[in-house]
Structure formats: C-alpha cells, structure tokens
C-alpha cells in the first residue's frame, strides 16, 4: 500500500510539473532575436488573447497579422489587425520582429517592410520588446520599463473595428490625435470600410456613426449622466461607461462589471454598432445591444424634431448572466 502511494505521488508530481511548465512556456513577447512567424503565435499571460497570422477566408490568399480571443472562445474572433490595408499574398519567410530603433515591423523574405508601428516618440531604447497584454493591448516598450506612460507604441491607440474594455474613443486636444473605430470593407476584407464610429467632441460630446464624412447616426449630446438621445440606455449587468471631458481631451471608454464576462463593441461593414457578449454555456456570441434599431434611427431620416431622429437600441432582454 505504501509503495502504491509513493508511485501515485510521483505520478501526480509529474503531471503537476507538466501543467505548470506548459503555463510558464506561453510566450507573450517578441524580441529583437525572437520573431513571430506563420504557424506560431504569442498569447497574453492569462490566455485571454492570442496574436499571429490569419486569413479571413480559406478561399482567399490574403494574410494578415491580428489579435483574437483565445481563452474559452473557440472561433477566431479578430479584434485588431496590423496590416489591414496591405495583405500578404503568402507568409513564406515573413516575420514580425523588432527593428531599430525599437519598432515592430512586418518584414518579408526579401527584407521589405510591409507594415510597422508608428512610434509616438522615435527614441532608441536598449532592449525593446513587443508584448501582448491581458487586456488585448499590444505594446512596444523597453524590457525593463513597464510604466504605461513610457510605452513606445500601443495598439489601443490604433483601433480597427472593435472597442475592448480599457480602450478609448475621442480626441486628444493637445496633439490632435483622434481615436475611432472603422469598419471592415466586408466580412473577408479587414481594410477600412465605409463606416466610422467617433466620440465627436464638437460642442457637447456625442457618439456618431459616419458614412465617409456624412453623419448618419447620433447618440445625442452628453448631459453629464448619459447620452440625451438614448433614454433607454440605463444601468445594466454587463458594463459601465464613462466620458472623460475637459480642455485637454474628450474620451469615451467602458469597463466590464464582471471580469469573467467576455464582451466587445464592434462596428460592422453595414454601419451597425453591436455589443457582443460571449455565452459560455452555448459557446457562441450573442448581440446584447445594437444600434441603429431601424431605418428611422438614421440621422435626420424622420426630421430634425422627430424624437426618433436620435439613436434607439435593440437590447436583448433574455440574455442571462
């Protein structure tokens, strides 16, 4: 009996060691000597997000570098694309790597740079790395400096069609940089499409959807508590949102009330803004909220004085948390 217990303990230790080793072996960084190639990925340390090469459709020969959900979400739900306007025809010999003076670049086999980070401060750093954070934010920083204000570059400053918790929309009045969502052209092409979603700081801030430069949708102005055109948007069990507005900036952001919930806000190629929430029981995405709800919600469609000329929402009342 004693020998059986010794064998059992030994096997248990082996299994535990293998489990811990597999966790510790997950890579979340790209360095000057450790590149990312097709067939390989990096993942955030908690396993929530993964980054690598992908193709939106098996019948197309266009390849991109993107970030998608990994933890508990089996389908590849892409939330950010690096080279969205410049697809690769093939990935043979292509690497994503750190180049001087500390930029992250997508480099082809013949040493052409097809995409690179637009560094906010072109400073040479001793040991630059790229890291995928648990928030889904891809950052470039000095390996010895983890302070967010010292990041050299971050993907959260360059959204594509998806707003994740902790990201912001709006404008920095000091440097003029604007943060907004832009739709994919279609479900197979992540290049910027016709629609954009902004937190417009002109006058009193309001959320707007534009088709090209034409405003097609408005939330109404911010009254200090909520958007004036969204009386139905009240407290909910999914998220809380804030508007940080002063003489230096106007930023909209949201945070999840339950960190175990997976939720995202996307602008699709038809101009529909949708909040998706992952149903872990059914292993599928559900639209928790969507706008516009109907044609009359389009900006100015029913007249300037019509109450339906501002936004209304489709809310799924049956979703359980």
Positive/negative CA dihedral, 274, 280, 284, 286: negative
pLDDT at 118: 75
pLDDT digits (tens, 9 = 90+) for 246-270: 999 999 999 999 989 999 999 999 9
pLDDT digits (tens, 9 = 90+) for 116-151: 997 655 566 889 999 999 999 999 999 999 999 999
Kindly report which listed range (18-27, 94-103, 215-224, 312-321) carries the lowest average pLDDT score: 312-321
Residue 47 and residue 207: Cα distance in Å, rounded? 32
Mean pLDDT (the chain, rounded) = 83
pLDDT digits (tens, 9 = 90+) for 49-107: 999 999 998 888 999 999 999 977 877 899 999 999 999 999 999 999 999 888 999 99
Question: Is the previous residue joined to 184 through a cis bond, with omega within 30 degrees of 0?
Answer: no
Residue 311 and residue 177: Cα distance in Å, rounded? 26
Asked whether residue 211 carries a pLDDT value surpassing 60, the answer given is yes
pLDDT digits (tens, 9 = 90+) for 142-186: 999 999 999 999 999 999 999 999 999 999 999 999 999 999 999
Output the CA–CA distances (angstroms, integers) from residue 217 to 133, 241, 271, 292, 296, in the order listed.
33, 19, 9, 8, 10
- pTM for the full model? 0.84
Asked whether residue 12 carries a pLDDT value surpassing 80, the answer given is no
pLDDT at 228: 65
Residue 321 and residue 311: Cα distance in Å, rounded? 26
Output the CA–CA distances (angstroms, integers) from residue 14 to 3, 17, 20, 22, 26, in the order listed.
17, 5, 10, 12, 19
Q: In sequence order, what DSSP letters do the residues of 213-237 get, joined into one string?
A: TEEEEEEEEB-SSSBTT-TT----S
Could you give all domains of the chain from N- to C-terminal order, each with its CATH number? Answer: 27-158 (2.90.10.10), 159-320 (no CATH)
Q: Between β-strands 181-186 and 36-37, what pairing exists: parallel, antiparallel or unpaired?
A: unpaired
Q: Between β-strands 178-179 and 284-291, what pairing exists: parallel, antiparallel or unpaired?
A: unpaired
Residue 34 and residue 15: Cα distance in Å, rounded? 29
φ, ψ of residue 157 in degrees (nearest 5) = -85, -5
Asked whether residue 225 carries a pLDDT value surpassing 70, the answer given is no
């Amino acid at each position: 009996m004693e020998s059986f217990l010794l064998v059992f303990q030994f096997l248990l230790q082996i299994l535990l060691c293998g489990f811990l080793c597999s966790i510790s072996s997950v890579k979340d960084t790209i360095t000057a000597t450790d590149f990312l190639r097709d067939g390989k990925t990096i993942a955030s340390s908690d396993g929530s997000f993964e980054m690598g090469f992908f193709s939106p459709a098996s019948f197309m020969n266009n390849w991109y570098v993107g970030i998608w959900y990994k933890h508990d979400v089996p389908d590849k739900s892409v939330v950010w694309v690096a080279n969205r306007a410049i697809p690769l025809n093939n990935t043979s010999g292509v690497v994503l790597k750190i180049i001087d003076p500390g930029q992250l670049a997508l480099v082809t086999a013949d040493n052409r740079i097809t995409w690179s980070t637009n560094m906010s401060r072109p400073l040479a750093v001793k040991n630059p790395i790229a890291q995928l954070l648990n928030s889904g934010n891809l950052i470039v920083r000095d390996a010895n400096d983890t302070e967010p204000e010292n990041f050299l570059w971050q993907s959260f400053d360059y959204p594509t069609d998806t707003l994740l918790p902790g990201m912001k929309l709006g404008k920095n009045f000091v440097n003029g940089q604007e943060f907004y969502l832009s739709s994919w052209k279609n479900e197979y092409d992540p290049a910027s499409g016709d629609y954009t979603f902004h937190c417009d700081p002109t006058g009193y801030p309001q959320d707007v959807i534009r088709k090209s430069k034409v405003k097609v949708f408005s939330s109404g102005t911010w009254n200090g508590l909520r958007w004036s055109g969204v009386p139905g948007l009240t407290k909910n069990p999914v998220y809380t949102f804030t508007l940080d507005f002063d003489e230096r900036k106007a930023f909209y952001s949201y945070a999840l009330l339950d960190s175990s919930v997976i939720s995202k806000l996307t602008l699709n190629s038809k101009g529909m803004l949708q909040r998706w929430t992952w149903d872990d029981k059914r292993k599928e995405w559900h639209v928790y909220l969507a706008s516009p709800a109907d044609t009359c919600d389009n900006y100015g469609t029913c007249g300037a004085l019509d109450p339906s000329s501002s936004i209304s929402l489709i809310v799924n009342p049956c979703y359980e948390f």
